[in-house]
Every structure is written in structure tokens, then in C-alpha cells.
Amino acid sequence: MKAILTKYLPCTNTKGSRIKAWTEGGNQITIPYPHELSGQDVHELAAQSLVDKMEWKNIKLYGGGIENGYAFVMVNTQNKEI
């Protein structure tokens, strides 16, 4: 089982606000902040974007807030190793 961590990245002089999602193994993605969403939904979208990028199949995400962002646990719905 892998965990995905996410955090908010504020805007800079050259980039808008973003959400970064990553795993311990070095997989990562950064998405533009989706202003149509808020709270945990923003971070869950980033985590799901990483799942999609890595082509991990049959994954359900469960997560919640941590000190510096959010953490999501991936549960394989077919009970096979990711």
C-alpha cells in the first residue's frame, strides 16, 4: 500500500497557486489550483491526478488533513498489490 501526500504551493512572480502530490518513491505531479473546488476536494483531485498519471488501476483514495497538507491512502479495490 502506498500513501500520497499533498500540499498547497502559493503563487510566485511567475506561477499561479498549485497543489503538489507525491509518494515516497519519487512519483509526483503538480496541478494548477482548481479554484472551483475547496478544502480537501482540491487535494483529492491532485492525489487522483497522480493515480491517473501513474496508471494505477482499481484505486480508491481515503484521506484527511495533516500538519502541512493532506495524506491519502490508496486502497486497491481488487486486492492486488500496487
**Could you list the residue range(s) of the whole structural domain that residue 12 is in?**
3-68
pTM metric for this prediction = 0.90
Residue 81 in any domain: the answer is no
Establish if 53 belongs to a structural domain: yes
Q: Is 64 part of a structural domain of the chain?
A: yes
The pLDDT value given to residue 80:
59
- Give the residue among 9, 18, 21 at the shortest CA–CA distance from 63: 21
Give the integer Cα–Cα distance in Å for 33 and 21.
12
Q: What is the mean pLDDT of each run of 10 residues along the chain (82 residues)?
A: 92 97 96 96 98 94 96 86 58
Domain count, the chain: 1
Q: How far apart are CA 18 and CA 22, in angstroms?
A: 13
